[in-house]
């Protein structure tokens, strides 16, 4: 069964959603919005049902957070709220929401919309959770012309297994480089990486995907 994450501080609403959807989906629910992101990363749901008005962390903030994390960005988010869809639908769409359902819920319409969305949006499986994070790293190695280099770069996406960054030089596929985190006046060795993919190879600045072949505990994310 496909997993769906429900985030709503109303116990009775979570119970109603469980009663009406548990025959079709495996449901994970929480009344604490602060836990929602961790639950999404742990359970990897295929869709999220999200209330808007909650204490500590609103549905607006959560929707934006889900949409900004690379691992959760592709999960469809369905707002389920007592607030007016006329007032908030466009705003939530801009934050990354897929659809908006006002309470009381039309469950036939919700189930149909869920089924349609999950049919057309394939599951995305990754070995590691990737996070949009800017880190300054120093890379040392040899370029495609076998010239030694040492260059600072800023990451775009980061995971326990590697990262993306752009460099103004040409690297061969499977090039092996040393990686250092910079800061506090010193460079900290965090491992070795190899090039597994490059984008726009004809442009002066190329974006490379690097995968760790050796990694120390000092790397920012661990398995």
Q: CATH for 3-120, among 3.40.50.620, 3.40.50.2300, 3.40.190.10, 3.40.50.300?
A: 3.40.50.2300
- Listed by start position, the domains of the chain span 3-120, 131-215
H helix count then E strand count, the chain: 5, 12
Predicted pLDDT at 203: 62
* pLDDT attached to residue 135: 87
The yes-or-no answer to whether 3-120 and 131-215 have a common fold is no
CATH no. of 131-215: 2.40.10.220
pLDDT of residue 184: 64
pLDDT along the chain (223 residues), means of 10: 94 96 96 90 92 90 83 88 90 90 95 90 60 87 91 88 88 88 84 83 74 90 75
Question: How many Cβ atoms are within 10 Å of 195's Cβ, its own excluded?
Answer: 20
Q: What is the model's pTM? A: 0.57
> What are the Cα distances from residue 104, in Å, to 20, 29, 55, 116?
13, 19, 21, 21
Q: What is the pLDDT at residue 202? A: 57
Residue in 31, 82, 122, 117 with CA at minimum distance from that of residue 39: 31
């Amino acid at each position: 069964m496909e997993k769906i994450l429900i985030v709503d501080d109303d116990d009775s609403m979570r119970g109603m959603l469980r009663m009406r959807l548990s025959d079709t989906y495996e449901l994970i629910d929480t009344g604490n919005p602060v836990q929602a992101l961790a639950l999404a990363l742990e359970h990897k749901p295929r869709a999220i049902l999200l209330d808007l008005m909650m204490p500590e962390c609103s549905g607006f903030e959560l929707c934006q957070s889900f949409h900004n994390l690379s691992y959760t960005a592709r999960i469809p988010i369905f707002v389920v709220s007592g607030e007016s869809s006329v007032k908030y639908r466009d705003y939530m769409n801009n934050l990354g929401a897929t659809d908006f359902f006002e309470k009381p819920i039309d469950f036939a319409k919700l189930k149909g919309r869920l089924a349609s969305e999950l049919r057309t949006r394939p599951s995305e499986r990754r070995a590691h959770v990737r996070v949009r994070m800017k880190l300054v790293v120093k890379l040392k190695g040899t370029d495609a012309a076998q010239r030694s280099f040492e260059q600072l770069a800023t990451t775009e996406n980061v995971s326990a297994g590697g990262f993306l960054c752009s460099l103004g030089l040409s690297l061969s596929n499977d090039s092996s480089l040393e990686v250092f985190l910079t800061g506090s006046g010193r460079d900290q060795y965090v491992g070795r990486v190899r090039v597994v993919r490059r984008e726009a190879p004809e442009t002066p600045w190329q974006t490379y995907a690097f995968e760790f072949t050796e990694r120390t505990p000092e790397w920012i994310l661990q398995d």
